[in-house]
Amino acid sequence: MIFECKNHVTWDTWMYFRDNKYYLYYLITDRSGGEGFGVAVSEDGIHYEDRGTCITASDKMVIYLGTGAVWESPDFEKDKTFICNYSEWRRDESTGKHYQNIFFATSKDLIHWEKTGEDGVFPVDERYYVRCDEDGGRWDCIYPNRTAEGYEGFFTATPKEYIGCGYAVSEDGLRWMAKKPPRFSLDGYDDIRQGVEAGAVCVHGGKYYMLMGTYLYRYGMSVMVSDSPDGIYRPQKKNFSLLSNRSFMHAYFMRIADVNGKKYVNHHVLLRETNEFGRNTTLAAPLKEIDFDEEGILRLRWAALNEGLKGEEISDFDFENGFVAEYESAKTDEISFKTDKETVTLQFGFDDCSLKIFENGVLAEDICKDVCAAGRRVRILYRNTLMEVYADDYFVTCYTFKDGVRTVENQNGQKIWRINL
């Protein structure tokens, strides 16, 4: 919604903040799950300048190049070096099977990156993890947390004995040692069997909060909690699904970025259009601030920096450029959007911050954030068929229309600003 790469189709995003600049990395997916990644730079977290491709896949890559993250060398004050990781699917010549390895690159400016080469590979540790794709193996996307000894990393992997993710440690941020994998206890969500992805982890109140991805749409990106980094992760008791997708994968793969001590999530949103290779057009979504309530529940809230999205205040909806509409005290529980193809109706439940979305009268999305939005304040962002909805500053959902909105009905007392992009 705030950034679209004009030269490539993209997928996952990850972010790094340094010296008052936001570095937004995007996975390039023109014809596959990944051929490389690029970066865009912003001074306000809203308006980005695309700086182009950083890393491309080697000639040994056979399926796709996988996503990554960025961190500082533990000796950054001396070497001024940044580190990133990425993965490649390759073919085992002896078995013909495919496997993923994790590779690294370094940079001095967060824009120009140099691969560390084949000697720096982090291979699948077959003591604990499944190696090959044909057997269900994954090995992708380290998300690092700083420790007293260096770093600990969480990543997408397939434990041999149970559902979980990868866990590894490193003293220098480049050479990693796999450890016994964390276990996911998914009682109550037994339909999550495989395909889980570890997006990011943050620590609050001595607990580890993991953003877990699953292609089961109704869970999307969800919150798992553990008392230790390598322990048992269980579903958060409230607000489990941060990105719930029932009718379409409207948005996916949240990561965490630290900005001056505050934690934000970034992720991408999907248009329904696809290119000749079946790849959806995607855009980076506005940042959302991580907040924990008195019960220790991780929630997402409207980030104050997103006020910069508001351009001039206007008297009517600008469907061409996009708009931010705010209902300071919602006088209706229902708002309808009409396109050339359908009527999409939003029905709010403020007592539990719930939202039902109907497409031509048929229930398409059913979201509940398990918190009271007593102020009944609604904020809606719309741009390029994409919508975000907030209630009392709590993030509720993302939604992608099948085509452009033409009119909005049942609205009362709203203020509208043209999106400033």
pLDDT at 234 over 70: yes
Domain with CATH 2.60.120 in the chain: 312-419
On whether the CB atoms of residues 251 and 244 are closer than 8 A, the answer is no
**Nearest CA among 112, 137, 107 for reference residue 125:** 137
Going by pLDDT thresholds of 50, 70 and 90, the confidence category of residue 411 is low
In single-letter form, the type of residue at position 189 comes to: Y
Q: Find the mean pLDDT for residues 351-368.
A: 97
8 A C-beta contact, residue 207 and residue 296: yes
176-227: per-residue pLDDT in tens?
999 999 999 998 888 887 779 999 999 999 999 999 999 877 889 999 999 9
CA 374 to each of CA 51, 68, 244, 322, 345: distance values in angstroms, whole numbers, following the listed order: 43, 39, 22, 28, 21
- Buried/exposed 61-74: b ≥16 CB within 10 Å, e otherwise: bebbbbbbbbbbbb
Mean pLDDT of 286-297: 97
129: closest CA among 180, 168, 87, 93? 180
Among 177-186, 187-196, 336-345, 387-396, the range scoring the smallest mean pLDDT is: 187-196
Kindly report, as residue ranges, where domains of CATH 2.115.10.20 are found in the chain: 10-302
List, as one string, the DSSP characters of 291-318. Answer: EE-TT--EEEEE-GGGGGGEEEEESS--
End-to-end CA distance of the chain: 10
pLDDT band at 363 (very low <50, low <70, confident <90, very high): very high
Please state which architecture CATH assigns to domain 10-302.
5 Propeller (2.115)
CA-based nearest residue to 105, from 86, 88, 90: 86
- Cβ contacts of residue 190 below 8 Å, gap of 6+? none
Q: Is the pLDDT of residue 331 over 80?
A: no
pLDDT digits (tens, 9 = 90+) for 9-66: 999 999 999 999 999 999 999 999 999 999 999 999 999 999 999 999 999 999 999 9
Share above pLDDT 70 across residues of the chain, in percent, rounded to a whole number? 100
Please tell me the predicted confidence (pLDDT) of residue 332. Answer: 80
Number of Cβ within 10 Å of residue 275's Cβ equals 12
Average pLDDT over residues 85-105: 97
Assess contact for 251 and 220: CB atoms under 8 A: yes
Distance of alpha carbon 22 from alpha carbon 2, whole angstroms = 13
Mean pLDDT, range 352-377, rounded to an integer: 96
Tell me which amino acid residue 115 is: K
Is pLDDT at 149 greater than 80 in this prediction? yes
CA distance 141 to 131: 15
> In this structure, what token pair is assigned to residue 215?
């292609």
Any residues with CB less than 8 A from the CB of 315 and at least 6 apart, and which?
416
Q: Which CATH architecture has domain 312-419?
A: Sandwich (2.60)
